[in-house]
Amino acid sequence: MRGLIQLFGQLLTPAARRFHQALAAPELAQRRVHQAICDRLVMSEYGKALGIRSRADWQQLPIVSYDELEPWILRAGLTPEPILFCEKTSGSGGAVKRIPYTRSLRRSFNHMFCVWAHDLIQNGPRFSTGVLYACISPQLSTIDGSEKPGLQDDSDYLDAWLRWLLRPFLVMPKGLPQLRDAQLFQHQLCLALVQAERLETISIWSPSFLQVHLNYIQDHRSRLQQELQHRISPNRLQCLIEPDIVWTQLWPHLKLISCWDSAQAADQADGLRSQFPEVLVQGKGLLATEAPITIPLIAAQGYVPVLDEVFLEFEDDAGCLHGLHELNLAQSYNLILSQKGGLYRYRLGDRVRVTHGYLNTPCLAFLGRSPAVSDLVGEKLHAGFVQQVLNHLNLSATHFQSLVPVAHPPHYVLLLDQATETADEIAHQLDQELSQSHHYHCARLLGQLTPPQVLIGHQIPERLTLHRVQAGSVWGGIKHSTLATSPIEATLLQELQALSTLGKRD
């Protein structure tokens, strides 16, 4: 099997070679992809409406948000290519967006995968089984009969030939993506994962997606053991008997977990690293539903932009735009994306920082969303400040942290999966730390904000995820922000309070 994996790596060599050539000449690579994108724009209804005739007219294009493009997405006017389907994404703001996918956009993801896989085979762990779990998300929300189904699993980002090659190695329970019951989906997926003794790679988006299923296996280990009596080895059945499952014993061949590990996903990824100490937990870089932006390269020791598939513009804090080859070391920028599926000068809402260079190309670290602010009564809490506050609290045992505003009465609730201190102790410290913000301190003194609360329960992340899924978000792509900017629904808060109460009883 090792020989087959190396042969697969050789098949990917041409794509990797072209990509490294682009990294060596970033300005030329960006000019070429910019021209390819402009060619599509000129032929689209959108480009014609704006009077775009060539790349020289690029500056006439407005920088836009999703809301501004949505009417064009609904009328399929952004690209001359046929729309294969529209994929849902929630983003950190929670609103469901539909991103149109064309063959050209899917090829961009396919190219990104080829480069990434080649780097792992050449420079990463010594893979020997090839067995892969690629994130599968259930279709729990109602789908309009006129709406084409989106991606069933991560392999659908790939071209047909690559899917065909990978199919024998995928952990893919039959009929799983079609399940619309969340609990049944979770149970069937966990059964399949436990049976995958030779599992070597787990590729997901949010680390919380994997953590939720690890918690399910732990909490339902007796039921899983009974159902798998004659389907897995006695040694692996024994793993399910233990009060605390040792995950590296359940999956002894596991070598790689690929997931988001930046910004709000950093703590959750660190939680996976603590549970899988000998496994490479590799960050995906900035991989969005809209396009592949950056990918990790082991040789680069960082995240390089997918510069031969997407055109990137960078807005500094003064509002000036820069090309990729014009960026300054250690500077932060807002990303403006143009890709081959019909998004042109699209404000992605993400910030990056230049960390270092590799082969003449800047490496980019994902910092998070563009400044997020919660403002119930004028307190104006910024996401960056909240993250600093949480870093000062004693939350070393915590893998999930999210501060959410509550409208009635106005206050904040910190949601945690676990903690070593009591909720009251953490709440007191939280209030003191938040009071370093002038506006928050004034609001507390004036009684505009009541004291913050803390809810602790290992089922809280799962319940939040299911709530987002039921609202139409894609499970595998959900990101829980460190700071929510919209007040939490009262009914959902009551459910989380009940889960926290149950946790105290346990």
Cβ neighbours around 15 below 10 Å, total:
18
Residue 332 lies in a domain: no
Residue 462 lies in a domain: yes
Are residues 381 and 375 in contact, defined by beta-carbon separation less than 8 angstroms? yes
Residue type, 241: I
Q: Return all residues near 481 (Cβ < 8 A) that are at least 6 apart.
A: 92, 264, 369, 372, 383, 402
Is 253 in the same domain as 378?
no
Is 266 in the same domain as 379?
no
Residue 352 lies in a domain: no
- The tokens describing 239, both together, are 């793993």
Is 389 in the same domain as 258?
no
What does the alpha-carbon distance between residue 352 and residue 368 come to, in Å, rounded to a whole number?
Answer: 7
Residue 181 DSSP class: -
Is 262 in the same domain as 382?
no
Is 74 in the same domain as 191?
yes
Residue 170 DSSP class: B
What does the alpha-carbon distance between residue 376 and residue 151 come to, in Å, rounded to a whole number?
Answer: 37
Looking at the DSSP bridge assignments, the partners of residue 403 are: 414, 483
Residue 395 lies in a domain: yes
Go through the chain and tell me how many residues it has. 506
pLDDT at 90: 52
What does the alpha-carbon distance between residue 503 and residue 73 come to, in Å, rounded to a whole number?
Answer: 45
Cis upstream peptide for 405 (omega within 30°)? no
- End position of a domain, from candidates 250, 283, 316: 283
Residue 341 lies in a domain: no
Is 115 in the same domain as 259?
yes
- End position of a domain, from candidates 259, 283, 307: 283
Residue 63 lies in a domain: no
Instruction: Please state the domain count of the chain.
Output: 2
Residue 408 DSSP class: T
pLDDT at 181: 76
- Which secondary-structure segment (H or E) carries 447? none
Quick one: three-class SS letters along 95-150? CCEEEEECHHHHHHHHHHHHHHHHHHHHHCCCCCCCEEEECECCCCCCCCCCCCCC
Looking at the DSSP bridge assignments, the partners of residue 416 are: 401, 456
Structural domain boundaries enclosing 209:
2-24+69-141+149-283
- End position of a domain, from candidates 283, 309, 333: 283
Q: Nearest-CA neighbor of 296 among 254, 252, 256?
A: 256
Residue 497 lies in a domain: yes
Q: Longest C-alpha distance within the chain, in Å? A: 70
Segment-wise mean pLDDT, segments of 10 residues, the chain, 506 residues: 88 97 98 98 97 96 93 95 84 62 95 96 96 75 54 75 89 77 85 95 87 91 94 92 93 96 84 95 92 96 98 95 97 97 94 97 90 81 88 90 93 95 96 89 84 95 87 71 89 94 57
Residue 320 lies in a domain: no
Q: What does 462-502 look like in DSSP terms, one character per residue?
A: HHHHHHHHHTT--GGG----SB-SSPPPHHHHHHHHHHHHH
